[in-house]
Structure 1
């Protein structure tokens, strides 16, 4: 076993936000499950990562009960479930030690959000010497508000603002930034040999 699949932040927290209905990939659970099934059949490690913001009162605060995998995702016994408080899956977890101890050299990245936790994890993994595959269609994101726009915009306001970056633009930018530098871009179908 030299490969591990990272499933990053595919958690109920996002479903609690009004903006989730604008998500780029509402079928992310099925896509992730296809990768999980392939990883398990290849005897690869599956690592589940959840984002937490303790004490914030947000949907990412474990006290509110939403920091759990989305319905339909079920870790098997022995598959690590890590809790992070940083954007990437390494800084506030024992992920690097866990992977190194198991001789993992290749990582497949999936999860939420494409340009944030997934991309940041891919960049750091590459810098740490891992061979990274980024499965864009097994990630999801939402439109990005302009940094000067109010943080509490409704989904309608977000879409109406001409400065908002569309999910298509976010995905394209992420692929351009990662490809050939930090990761190889692949699709679920390419990795599993089937259309989903």
Structure 2
């Protein structure tokens, strides 16, 4: 086993946010499950990562009960769960030690949010010497407000601002930033071998 699937922050905390209705990939659970099934069929390690902000009273505070996998995802026996408090999955966990102990050199990254915890994890992993595949459509995010926008906009206010960066644009920018530098960009269909092959001409 030299491969691992890293599933980042696919947790109920995000679904409790009003902005979740604007998520780019509402079918992320199905996409992640396809990657999990593939990894298990190959004997690859599946690592589940959750984000916690202890003592904040936020949706990411474990006392609120939302720091758990989104319904429809199921951890198998022997698959580790790591809880992080930083954006990337390495800094505040023992992920690197876990991967090193198992001789893993290749990582597939998926999860929430595309440009934040997923992208940051991919960049750190590359710098640590891992070969990284970024499963772009098994990540998701939501629109991002302009840096000069007022804080705490409602989803409707966010989308009414023409300066808002759409979720699809965020994902596209992440793909551009990572490709050829930090990671291979692949779709779930490509990784599972069911991508449509278009005829030439």
- For Structure 1 versus Structure 2, the TM-score category normalised by the shorter chain is over 0.9
What is the alpha-carbon distance in structure 1 between the residues aligned to residue 87 and residue 146 of structure 2?
Answer: 19
* CA–CA distance in structure 2, aligned partners of residues 137 and 17 of structure 1: 21
Q: Which has the larger radius of gyration?
A: 2
Aligned counterparts, 1:52-131, within 5 A: 52-131=52-131
Residue number in structure 2 paired with 1:176: 176
2:198 matched to which residue of 1? none
The residue that corresponds to 1:155 in the other structure is 155
Deviation (angstroms), 1:172: 1.1
Q: Point out 4+ residue stretches in structure 1 off by more than 4 angstroms.
A: none
1:97-154: CA deviation from partner (whole Å, max 9, x where unpaired) = 0000000000000000000000000000000000000001000000001122222100
RMSD after superposition: 1.1
Q: Using the alignment, how far apart are the partners of 2:58 and 2:99 within structure 1?
A: 30
SS in 2 for 1:111: strand
Rounded to whole Å, the distance in 1 between the matches of 2:43 and 2:150 is 46
Distance of 2:151 and 2:132 partners within structure 1:
32
Secondary structure of 1:139's match? strand
Question: 2: CA distance between counterparts of 1:36 and 1:15?
Answer: 21
- What is the TM-score with the length of structure 1 in the denominator? 0.98
After TM superposition, list the pairs within 5 Å mapping 1:22-41 onto structure 2.
22-41=22-41
